[in-house]
Structure formats: structure tokens, C-alpha cells
A and B are shown apart, each in its own frame.
Chain A
Amino acid sequence: MEIKNIPLNELDVEPINLLKKMLQIRKFEEKIEELFLVKGTLIGPAHLYLGQEAIAVGICSALKKDDYVITSYRCHGHAIAKGVNIKKLMAEMFGKETGTCKGLGGSMHAAISPEDGLIYATAIVGSQIPIAAGLALSNKYLNRKIATVCFFGDGAVNTGAFHEGMNLASLWKLPVLYVCENNLYAEFTHITRSLSSKSIAERAASYNMKVFIVDGNDVISVYKVAKDCIEEIRNLNGPIFIEARTYRMKGHGVYDQAKYRDPNEVNEWLQRDPIKIFKEKLIKEKLLDEEGYKKLEREVINEVEDAVRFAEESKVLEFNELEKLVYFEK
């Protein structure tokens, strides 16, 4: 089933909150890009979420704090949407002890924060898919009304882990919501050059589970479909699969200029910027004006600047602390 153009009045959450969350991700990621490319403060891999904000925000706004999220290395957006402290997230980018993972994970694992329901973020494409099945198994076994959401990209659907994980989740009827963010590129390769199935949704359907296709640049549609799915998952039914169709505004990693993309394709998608679409909708409905938007934007920028300052001022973990973190010791 395909879901798009859901009207604003179907939202049962404050629309400004959704906009704010999306803006937080946008401004966070723009700052990260600047810190890498302009200031050179940050190094290492980082995979920006720019352009996909409506998906993380739409899905996570339908979750409770103790619901589980497991994701990939393109994880900053999910962390923010799930409610992680932005200062801690930024400090992780800087490798500081005040980071979500004490600076040992970095950008690719920054979305590990169990206290926020952010269970795990992996840097190996597709590996989270069977792990998500296991999380769902624990909830089903312990009869906990906790939903598990697993985010991954279109590249993950061609891994063995995807096949094995999807098959198991369906076979055991595990309460997990799989959210594939199809941004059309697996690293630098267009989906038409990597996917043999007609679509990701079609492949998912072959595992005998409910499948939805949603306009991933429309936060209302994403929220709406997530809300229904998560209700089912929380009642320990599932699995359910959502293919959210979207576009990566930037390259695969922060250094990738993505020149392999057709400029027309890029321009077309930039017109469909999820924040722009939602903002215009809110203005049209008189729920927001240009001034209100600017104010919100400034607020968010300040928050990100504070986070950078916090990260810069934080310390790096003592090296001799590392050996205590390899194994759990009673």
C-alpha cells in the first residue's frame, strides 16, 4: 500500500514539534558538514542525514521513550528524533568522554544510548536487521509492550543479513518495524544498478509481511503510517515493513561530492526538501509565519552552537580507562 499526501488535520501531535525536530537534525548535520569541510575540526567517516529528516522524525514521533531503535551508521537523525541530548551527540562526533559512547563510537555509532531507547548503531551494512529480530524476540518472550524499529538504507536489502533477518522475523512473527530509507544510492551506485527486484517493497513482500510504501519526504505521511504500524508492533504483532522513498541531499559520506548524480535528478529532489514542504504547509494553514520559522531556526542554531562549545570544552577519556570497557566485570 502506498501512502502520501496525508492532510495536516490527521496529525495528533503538535506540528511545530515535528518541524522543530526536523530542523534540529538539519542544523546539526549542516554544522557537522561545516566542521569537517570548512573548519577541518572533525575527521573520520560521517554520513549525513540531510534530506531524510522527515523519516526519522515521522517514525520516532510515533514512539515512546522506551521503545527500541536500532540503526546504521547514518544515525545522527535517528538519535535526535528519538530524543538524545544534542550536546552528548555532538561530543561523540568529537570523540569526547561526554559523548553518548564516551567518544569510543564516533559518528557511526553515536546513536547508541539505551537510556533513550537507542539500542544500537552498526557500521556494517545490513547487520542490524537480524539483531532487530532478536530485540523483538526479547520483547515478545518477556511480553513487554515495547516496539522495535530498525532503520537501514536501500543498500542493506542486498546483504545476506537482510535476507536472513527478514526471513526469521517473519517466520517467528516478531514485533519489529523495518524501515528502509530508500535514498536511491547505495554508497555511489544507483539502485537500478544494484537491485534485481522490481522494488524494495516487492522484495519485502516476498517475506510474507505487511508492506507499506510511503513518501519519505512528507513527515505527515510518515508519521501517520508509523503510528498505525507501531501500535500493532507494540501489541506484539508483526513484523511490518515500510519503504520510505527519499533522497540523500549530499553524498554517501561527508567528503563525497556526489558528482555521479544527474544534476536534473538532484534539482528535482531538492525542490522536494522535506522541511520546505512541511514549512509551506504550516504557513498555508496559518499555523506558522515566516517570522515564527526564523525564530525557531535561530533557537535550533543556538542549541547546536552550544553543543559544539560543550563538545570542544569536553575532555577525552583517559586511555587507561579503555581496557575496563572491553568486558563487563562484576
Chain B
Amino acid sequence: MREITFVEALREAIKEEMKRDEKIIVLGEDVGRYGGVYKVTQGLIEEFGEQRVLDTPISEIAIIGAAAGAALGGLKPIAEIMYMDFAMIALDQIVTQIAKMRFMSGGQLKIPIVIRTQYSLGRAHGSQHSQFFPSWFVNSPGIKVVSPSTPYDAKGLLKSSIREENPVLFIESGVLYRTKGNVPEEEYTIPLGKADIKKKGDDITIIAVSRCLNEAIKASNILEGKGISAEVIDPRTLIPLDINTILSSVKKTGKVVIVADDVKFCSITSEIAMQIIENAFDYLDGPIVRITSPPLPVPFSPELEKMYMIDENKIIKGIQQNFGYKI
């Protein structure tokens, strides 16, 4: 199978869907003539024209607001928010407007919007360009939240998100953009709400979100060398969350590690851990281990940022400390 980058996978998904459905438009800062700050939308304006690929001013409220209005008017907008940090500028539009529209209209309104954004943790972008906070959005019923970790998933999930009739927040990781993976040439989609077992195992369950998936795979390889078999699961979508796939694994292994880049307190790891406790408490051999970012803003200094970030060693250390393995 051919290998392409995460960025190419995203671009293919958008292009294929735009060819399929003329109601799809793309809007955001520098998505058109410049081709997108991370080149995801490169070439779209040449192929689909300025009517469908719209460069906006630096106006996040207007980007999401206009996307909302366009969706209410029957279009299917894909809005790009350059950094997840900037989504906070448009928080009213995302959380209080689009996530609520359907419900508070008594089901009259349909809001098919995809908001693509990325977090740049790991690229020395400092405190205001690196934040990953899915929990702010998963706490808002009405919006779906997707966080792919591989080019294959990115393409399949983005295509499904575009075909959704609900608002979807599609969170990408900037450090994954240049990573490569197998992506078939043939058409495929991946449904939202389906976790993926990235590696089968029997002794321990590692659930890892977005960028952390790769770190979890690396950790599982180290464990394998020591005769410990880890099952690695990527939830892929956070809303809806496929808790059943996670629970099946937990019931098998009894040991759980959850890994994600957000700060521990009320993070996505908190929620996954709690759902495991609520539904599979009796199967657990010990406490659930959470590997997260420390309760600090992201430091700029590349050396400090490296220390701040989750890597395979932190995962291994957490497993050693909590489950008594000698690795």
C-alpha cells in the first residue's frame, strides 16, 4: 500500500469530498491563496476556485459564525482554525451557538460544520500555540469531537466528519503532520464513534489519544521486549466515545494506562478513567494510571518542552511504578 503524510491524507479527504458535493466550502485564515499555514488546503483554490475556498480575515468569531450561517443556509462548510488556542476566541460560536442550535430549536435546525484545528505541542510554539484541551468541547453536548493519530484514520474520519449532519471539531496534532502512513488509493471512510485497537495484547491496556498514540506504541514495543504484552487502543473519536471497545480490553487485562496531552485535572483521561471505574471496576487489578501533561502552561524552551511532554519513557515509568513490573 502506498504511504502518504498526515497532511496529504487530510488534503485528499477534503478534495474527494469537495468533488463529490458542491455544497462543501472551505474557509479560514490563509487557506486559499497561501494554501494553508500547514499546507493542508494547498491547491484547493486552484482546483475549486475562490467561491469555494475562502480566505478570511483573522477573525475567528466570524469564521465560525459564517460557517454556522452557511450551514443553516444549506452549505457544508469546513472551517479551519489555525491553532486550537485560537478556537477559544470563537468559543461562544462553537460551544454556545452551534452546539446548542439543534437542541434549543426543538430539532428544527441542522448544522453540518467541520471545524478543523491543530495543536502544536512539540514544536516550540510556547504557551499560547500549543494547548490541547478537548475536555472544553466534549463537555458541550451537541458537538462531536474527533482526534485522529494516523494518516489512515485522519482521511477516513475527516471524510465521515464532512458527511456528518452535526458540528464536528476535528483536532489534529501539528507534530503528526509530516508523519507517514499507509493510506489506500481506494475510497473508504471510518465511522465516528469507533475506537481502533492499534496493537493486540493481553497483559495491559494502554489507551492513547492523538499524538500520544505513537508514544504508546513505542512503549508497548519496549514492554514486548520484556515479555509484557500491551494492548494499545486509540479512541479516535472522543464524542461519541467507543467505551465498549475499551471496556472489553480492560476486562481482559485488568490493568489500564491512559495517555493524552491535556493537563490532568478534568482532562479527557479523567473521563475515560471514570467510565472504566463505573463499568468495569471489578475487573481492575489496581489503580488506573494516567499519563498527562503537568499542570503548567507549555514552556517555550525546546529542552523544557521536551521534559514537559509525554514520551514512551514516561509511559514505561508510570507502568513500572504502578504495576510493579521490572523493566
Q: Could you tell me which A residues sit within 8 Å of B by CB distance?
A: 68, 70, 99-105, 109, 112-114, 119-120, 122, 124, 127, 129-139, 141-142, 160-161, 164-165, 167-168, 171-172, 322, 324-328, 330
B102 contacts the other chain (Cβ, under 8 Å)?
yes
Cβ contacts under 8 Å, A122 to chain B: 97
B73-A161 in contact (CB<8A): no
A103 to B101, CA, bound (A): 14
Interface string of B44-63 (1 = CB under 8 A from A): 00000001001011011110
A326-B141 in contact (CB<8A): yes
List 23 A–B pairs whose Cβ atoms lie within 8 Å, in order of A's numbering: A101-B104, A102-B106, A103-B106, A112-B109, A124-B92, A127-B65, A127-B92, A130-B65, A130-B69, A130-B93, A131-B72, A134-B67, A137-B66, A138-B69, A138-B70, A161-B61, A161-B93, A165-B61, A168-B62, A171-B57, A324-B107, A325-B102, A327-B144
A130-B73 in contact (CB<8A): no
Q: How large is the interface on B (under 10, 10 to 19, 20 to 34, 35 or more residues)?
A: 35 or more
User: Given known contacts A131-B65, A168-B66, A328-B102, is B57 in contact with A120 (CB within 8 Å)?
Assistant: no
**Apart from A112-B106, A112-B109, A134-B73, what are 5 other A-B pairs with CB-CB below 8 Å?**
A132-B69, A133-B65, A137-B70, A327-B144, A328-B166
A131-B165 in contact (CB<8A): no
The 10 closest A-B pairs by CB, nearest first: A134-B69, A138-B73, A130-B65, A102-B106, A164-B62, A134-B66, A101-B106, A164-B59, A135-B69, A131-B69
A326 to B69, CA, bound (A): 19
Cβ contacts under 8 Å, B142 to chain A: 326-327
A126 to B61, CA, bound (A): 11
Chain B min CB distance to A93 (Å): 14
A104 to B141, CA, bound (A): 15
Cβ contacts under 8 Å, A101 to chain B: 104-106, 108
Chain B min CB distance to A174 (Å): 9
Indicate the member of A119, A120, A134, A322 with the most B CB atoms within 10 Å: A134
Which of the residues A135, A161, A328 comes within 8 Å of B70, measured between beta carbons?
A: A135
B73-A113 in contact (CB<8A): no
B106-A137 in contact (CB<8A): no
Q: Which of B55-114 contact A (CB under 8 A)?
A: 56-57, 59-62, 64-75, 77, 92-93, 96-97, 101-110
Cβ contacts under 8 Å, B25 to chain A: 141
Cβ contacts under 8 Å, B59 to chain A: 130, 164, 167-168
User: Given known contacts A168-B66, A328-B166, is B105 in contact with A105 (CB within 8 Å)?
Assistant: yes
A124-B65 in contact (CB<8A): no
Indicate the member of B57, B66, B77, B110 with the most A CB atoms within 10 Å: B66
